[in-house]
Every structure is written in C-alpha cells, then in structure tokens.
Structure 1
C-alpha cells in the first residue's frame, strides 16, 4: 500500500506510479482521493487505476462517466470490475436499444455503437450479462444495420468494431458475428467463469457464431490435447469456419534471429486483441491485450491439408495495423506458425502447402503472406 507522499512529484513517473496503484485493492481509498484532487493526465490515470478495483464509493463516478464524453471509454474499457460493470451496463443497454431502433430505419453513425462494445470488454457482472443476451436476441437487427459515411467517397461497405477488428465487405452474414466476436474478445481479456458459462448458454440457445467464444474459452482454460480431441472433428463440418475465426485471434509471437529491439515478451502462442478506436485529434482509446495459450501441433497438420482446395474467408481476425490479405485463411494459418518449425515432417508439409497455395492464389506481389511463408519454409 502506497501513501500520497511516496508518489513521484510529477511527470511520466508520477503518472505510471498512479496507474500501478490499480493492481492492489488496498490502494482504492488513495486512488479515490487522487481522483478528487489531481488534474489532467494524473486525474485520468487515477480514474483508470480505480476502475480496476471493487470500491463501492466510486460507483457514482462510473455512472457519471458513462453518460459523458465517449461514454468514458478511455477510462473504463480495460477495466473488468463489477463495480464499474454494474453501473455502466444499464446505460449501455439503453444506448444499444436506442441505436438499434434508429438503425432499423436509417443508416447509423456507428461511433457510439462501438463505444458500447468497447466498454463491454471482459466485464462479467449480472447486468452486463444481460447486455450480451440482448445482443444475442437482436443479432439479425445488427446484421441489417447500415452505416453513415465517415469520409468523402466512402461506399460504407467496410465495418469495424475496433481499430484492429475490421472487415471490408460488411455483408449481413459477417455483421451478425459481431456480438459473438465481442464475447470472444472478452474471454481473452478476462476468462471469468460467468463469461464462460454465458458462452455455453448462448451457444446452446443460438448455435452458429456462438461456437467462437466457446472454442476460445476451451483454448484458454483446457489442456491443449483435450481441446484438439473435442473440436478438431468439426473441421469436417460446416462449423469449421467458426473455429477459424477464433484461431484468427491467436498469434505465434516470434522474433527473427539477431533481433536487437525491445521484445514485447517471450516467443510463444498468444491470444491477442487490439481494442478501442481513435479519431484523429479527438480521442484515442486503443490498447492491446494478450494472453499466452497453447495449441496442439496436430491443428497445424490439419490446417495444411488440401492446398488445392477452396479455402473459407476468415474475416474477423485480429490485426496489427490491419492485415495484408483481408479475409485470408492462409494469413490466419501462417500467424499460428513459429518462425522456426522444429518438426521436420511438419516443415516439409508446410513447404509444399504454401508453394502450392502461392501458385494457386492470384495475388499481387506486394501481398506479404506468401513471401513470409517462402522465407520460413522454402527450400533450404
């Protein structure tokens, strides 16, 4: 527990020290004091830190912020506390209901819609679970939404939830995935048992897209062998596409030999999301969440089958600065692979797979996914 006197006097060090206070419930009272005494970036840091804690006296603050500018998304999106969740969920539900009513009759400015989605991330309180149930009941209305243009010559065919989750052909079939994609991201952020149970509930009730969060829940919480045995049989069914969308939120982080810059973390498979959006010169609510997971190697052998066949699109993938080949199964696949594959049998299969795919798929030379594959698995 830190005291006010122990905080650095000013600058980045003070701001970071205030943010660190959010890791210990014992600091709640001090943070609440700072919220009421600090100004500018220090006040914002205190609000962000306090939002992570279960501190009942702060409840009126969260209820006020969600009704204000950007719905408090820059403060509360990355917080999972029930204290925040219970205060903001009714406002989110009311806002979503209003927006869907408007969207039934006219194109919608989706900025506020996305603020609602951003605020839902990882929150599992009873009232927030009702927001998910509302979205599940209204999936078809979401699928039919049209949006207003955001720039000149905007044909309004693209759609995005966050700056890192966007598609470029927003068909109703793709937009109806949005609620399930948000729950999948929430489980990466916070695999709370209540969110896990909700994923099972919605999958049992509605099926279809709701397999995505159920599969992600399994990846995060179950032994990799069990996940493979349970879900790999679905690769031979029409449900396989839902598995690919969940796998599109995984990434094997690996650095080239001789990498001299700072590493974000050790090599390994991570569940990864880029959350939030920005408006140039107005707001920036973006942040990144990652969680280390493990994936049975047998998935890689399965995904490399039938290189001559037609591959499904994998639209809701998580991208850093957006993808280079939008909707690409092959890009999803290569993102799961370490830079150096140790298994010689797998490496040989991958070499043949990507060689055939690069010959079959007609893309511009600038498309990096097959160049990357050739570099990793080409003839030695």
Structure 2
C-alpha cells in the first residue's frame, strides 16, 4: 500500500494504518506516517511500526520510553527486538530506582506497572536481563509497600494489571509477580528465548518460576505429555504454582441460544487482560488469548476431595463480576465448557460442586456455585 491508497481520514484511515504493521515491508511508510500524522492516526502508525523489526525507528522507541506512561500505550503489545533492545535499559534503570526507593518508603505502583506492562512478550537479550534482575530481586519486590492511590486505601491489595490483582498482598504472593509477568509474556509470544529463560530461572531459583514453565508446557507440548509430567505435583507444595498457571486459562463457551456477536470460537484459551487505566488520564488495556488444549484427566483430578481444604489460587485472570477472589473453585469452573459432554465427568463435577456449595459460605452476589448448579445440577 502507498500513502495515496490510504483512506483520507477518520476510523477507516486509522484501521488501515494499523494493518500496515503486519508486513515488514511497510516500515519506511509507517515511519513517514509517524512523522506526518496527528492524533489517533499518529498513535496507530506508532503501534503498527512497533510490530516491525525496522532499525531506523530505534530512536523513536528510546524517546518514547522516557516520556509519558513510558510509551506503554504504544509499545506494550509489541514483541519486536527493535523495540525491546531500545527500551530494556530504561526499564532496568527504572526498576532499580523503584526498588531502591521502596526500601525506605511506600512505592508509587503506577510506575512499576508501566515497566511490567512493557516487558510483555519481548525476548531480546537486554530484556532477558531485566527478567534476571527481577528474579534476583524478588525478595525485595515482595517486601515493597505501596502508597495509597485513593482516599481510605488500606494498601492491602496489589495488582499487575487491571485484570490481574490480589486482595491480600502478602510477601509470598508479591514474590510471584516476576514469574507471572514471564508467564503472560509466553502467552503473548512463546518465543524460544522466553521458553529457555523460564527453564533457566526455574532451575536456578525454583519456587514460583514453575508457573511459566508449566504454562510453556501447556502452550507447546502434547496435552497427554503435560498431564503425565505435571499432575504428580498435585497434592504437593508445588501444586499451588500449577494452580496459578491454570488460573490464567478460561473456557469460552456461549449459550446455545446466544444471538449476539461472538468475540471468538468456543474453546479453552490462555487469557490475559493486560495494561491498566486511570480515569480521564490514560487507558493502556488490551487482551491477549491463545487457544490451548488440556487433558480431561486434569478435570477429574481437580474435582476430587470436595470436603478438603483448597489452596488459594492468586493471580487469576478475572473477566466477570461476582467472583470468589482467590478461589480454587472459581479456577476450576473457568476451565469447563458450558456443556460437559462426558457423563462421568459431569457426575463428578455435579457431586463436587454440590458438596462445595454446602461447605463454603459466600455472599449472595458470589455466583460460583450458582453457575455450577445451573451447568451440572441435572442429569
């Protein structure tokens, strides 16, 4: 496409510019558009260009990361090495400063999150060093206290993004943040370098770094192999890390009488809501999803022992209201299609959720067990 072939103005021009980011040959044209467009079309040109390995644009990325919101509204959803190599040093410098400041005073979480958002899916050598820095400093991150962001904020909650947050931010849970960011990066871009990094950090540090290793397996290995390798960890201290990875999966299934537009086909997907927003100031949110398969034996294994104490599943992806935050049962129901075809599994789920609904006391607004009764209550 040439400059003259673009729609003259408005949403159509903006969308056409975004489409240019799908072909490396459009680098020169997009850089021209960045320099001549205004408003939303300029932003579209920057977003499209960030998808490309176009070396002449490198100074633009180095400039944007030093500016407002660190350019996260432009570069967070880009995986190019060209962008990654330019912004990684600035991210590393900012993270180092924030951790130093956080040793002595409450942290402004917004700046930290801009750094984490920008790491998404990027696998350049310099960005891998940022991950290694966070791994080495996970204990410092775990000790951070955050400053209040609204009146009467008790500062007990913590969030990476608008869709990934916990409500009782203990040091043990905050220590998982770097591993969860790498897990999200693998969903966005299962680059072999990120896969190798997950293995490296798990071997070196252990603990929460099992989360991205397990997600890597879900994304890249046969589902039967994944089950055989990792299911023996259920019932062990390492199970909580598996559950945190499973908490980032969600089964999209529409009711049979659904008459509205569908955002995608039914199926199990690794789902991440990334970015954040500040009312009236910025909105950097976007969604990433990647369809996956899960061996059905996981569902049988997870639906055992309904009377037993279930571990909290933190850092789940939440995409609807009325959830039971940190809930093992919420994680399990999110893995299930609306209609379970296997009658044996359906019976197991019906019995499991019936007992759980009697055992767990929840507020009227919580829909976990109401959803389960509706889906699995009858024969």
Structure 1 position 16 matched with structure 2 position 15? yes
Q: Secondary structure at the residue paired with 2:149?
A: coil
CA distance in 1, matches of 2:205, 2:86: 28
Q: Which residue of 2 aligns with 1:259?
A: 258
8 Å CA contact 2:322, 2:366 repeated in 1: no
- Aligned pairs for 1:83-122 (under 5 A) are 83-122=82-121
Q: Which residue of 1 aligns with 2:326?
A: 327
Structure 1 position 150 matched with structure 2 position 149? yes
Q: Secondary structure at the residue paired with 1:252?
A: strand
CA distance in 1, matches of 2:370, 2:99: 43
CA distance in 2, matches of 1:263, 1:345: 30
Once structures 1 and 2 are overlaid, which stretch shifts more, 67-76 or 317-326? Answer: 317-326
CA distance in 2, matches of 1:303, 1:45: 44
CA distance in 1, matches of 2:156, 2:171: 11
Q: Which residue of 2 aligns with 1:203?
A: 202
Structure 1 position 227 matched with structure 2 position 226? yes
8 Å CA contact 1:189, 1:289 repeated in 2: yes
8 Å CA contact 1:270, 1:291 repeated in 2: yes
Q: Which residue of 2 aligns with 1:345?
A: 344
Q: Secondary structure at the residue paired with 1:33?
A: helix
Q: Secondary structure at the residue paired with 1:161?
A: strand
Q: Which residue of 1 aligns with 2:310?
A: 311
8 Å CA contact 1:164, 1:321 repeated in 2: no
Q: Secondary structure at the residue paired with 2:273?
A: strand
Q: Which residue of 1 aligns with 2:357?
A: 358
CA distance in 2, matches of 1:234, 1:150: 39
CA distance in 1, matches of 2:359, 2:297: 25
Q: Which residue of 2 aligns with 1:378?
A: 377
8 Å CA contact 1:307, 1:356 repeated in 2: yes
What is the alpha-carbon root mean square deviation over aligned residues?
0.7
- The Cα offsets for residues 186-237 of structure 1, whole Å up to 9 and x where unpaired, read as 0000000000000000000000000000000000000000100000000031
Structure 1 position 215 matched with structure 2 position 214? yes
Q: Secondary structure at the residue paired with 2:268?
A: strand
Q: Which residue of 2 aligns with 1:168?
A: 167
8 Å CA contact 1:164, 1:322 repeated in 2: no
Deviation at 1:6, TM superposition (A): 1.1
TM-score (normalizing by structure 2): 0.99
Q: Which residue of 1 aligns with 2:72?
A: 73
8 Å CA contact 2:322, 2:367 repeated in 1: no
Deviation at 1:365, TM superposition (A): 2.3
Q: Which residue of 1 aligns with 2:185?
A: 186
Q: Which residue of 2 aligns with 1:44?
A: 43
8 Å CA contact 2:253, 2:338 repeated in 1: yes
Once structures 1 and 2 are overlaid, which stretch shifts more, 358-367 or 60-69? Answer: 358-367
- The Cα offsets for residues 251-303 of structure 1, whole Å up to 9 and x where unpaired, read as 01000111011111110000000000000000000000000000000000000
Deviation at 1:322, TM superposition (A): 6.1
CA distance in 2, matches of 1:148, 1:357: 38
Q: Which residue of 2 aligns with 1:128?
A: 127
8 Å CA contact 1:66, 1:72 repeated in 2: yes
CA distance in 2, matches of 1:333, 1:207: 25
CA distance in 2, matches of 1:357, 1:151: 36
CA distance in 1, matches of 2:91, 2:3: 35
8 Å CA contact 1:199, 1:213 repeated in 2: yes
- The Cα offsets for residues 10-61 of structure 1, whole Å up to 9 and x where unpaired, read as 1111101100110110111110110011111100000000000000000000
Structure 1 residues without counterparts, runs of 5 or longer: none
Are the structure 2 counterparts of residues 322 and 22 from structure 1 closer, same or farther at C-alpha, using a change threshold of 3 Å?
farther
Q: Secondary structure at the residue paired with 2:15?
A: helix
Deviation at 1:82, TM superposition (A): 0.1
Structure 2 residues without counterparts, runs of 5 or longer: none
Matched residue pairs, number?
379
8 Å CA contact 2:322, 2:365 repeated in 1: no
Moved over 2 A (4+): none
Q: Secondary structure at the residue paired with 2:269?
A: strand
TM-score (normalizing by structure 1): 0.99
